Amino acid sequence: MEIVWLGHSCFRIRGREATVITDPCPPSTGYTIGKPTADIVTLSHRHDDHSYTKVIAGHPVVLDSPGEYEIHGAFLTGISTHHDGERGSERGENVAFVIEMEDIRICHLGDLGHTPTAGQAEEMTGVDVLLVPVGGNSTIDAPKAAEVVSLLEARLVIPMHYQTPANKGMLDPPDRFLKEMGVTTVEAQPKLSISRATVPHETQVMVLDYKR
């Protein structure tokens, strides 16, 4: 399986039987994701910078609601969460998606704005790859993200939704999150290639470079 960061909260997760695009973002974010082909598109919420579906090629199934889905051999679970720490009263709802393909469990937290409840965490705990927002402002910040990583016992953690030279938003850079996780040096990689056999046994942080 291959995971590529297209920018902001948008990833392309490509398996043998299906390709998933998460939270496609428009050029107004500073990122140009091209016209990726997908079988499945997940939207954590319908804000403009997370739901730019018109550039997705193919005939994908678009998921934006809690529930359980089986599509093209992939199993997806949408988990209802909130975009803020006030039960959604400030920024609305958010759907975290657990994506299972090729015996790998990936959790995309979307614009999570709070620490998951015990019930929410139970559905996310023990994932192999956790895609977690760390930039603060409109999502959890670095200390809270580190707390969520510990809570969910993720094996491989990839930060997203943070300030980069391309991003036009007002987010924190990833440095504080890396410090919270005890990571002193890290080199951004162009992609992650992972299989069941290569999942780390203990939590590791990996930074992906956005595809230019």
The one-letter amino acid at 60? P
pLDDT tens readout for residues 30-76: 999 999 999 999 999 888 888 999 999 999 999 999 999 999 999 99
Q: Which residues contact 118 (CB under 8 A, 6 or more apart)?
A: none
Higher pLDDT, 43 or 167: 43
Mean pLDDT of 86-114: 89
Question: Domain spanning 2-205 has what CATH number?
Answer: 3.60.15.10
The neighbour count for residue 58, using CB atoms within 10 Å, is 13
Contact 23, 110 (CB under 8 A): yes
- Nearest residue to 139 via CA among 115, 164, 168: 115
The tokens describing 116, both together, are 């998951």
Contact 186, 208 (CB under 8 A): no
Eight-class DSSP state of 174: T
The tokens describing 130, both together, are 């956790």
pTM of the model: 0.96
Instruction: Find the angle CA(93)-CA(98)-CA(99) to the nearest 5 degrees.
Output: 130
CA distance 195 to 9: 22
pLDDT tens readout for residues 120-154: 999 998 899 999 999 998 899 999 999 999 999 99
Alpha-helical runs (H) found in the chain: 118-124, 142-152, 175-180
CA distance 12 to 24: 9
Across 73-94, b (16+ Cβ under 10 Å) vs e yields ebebbbbebbbbeeebeebebb
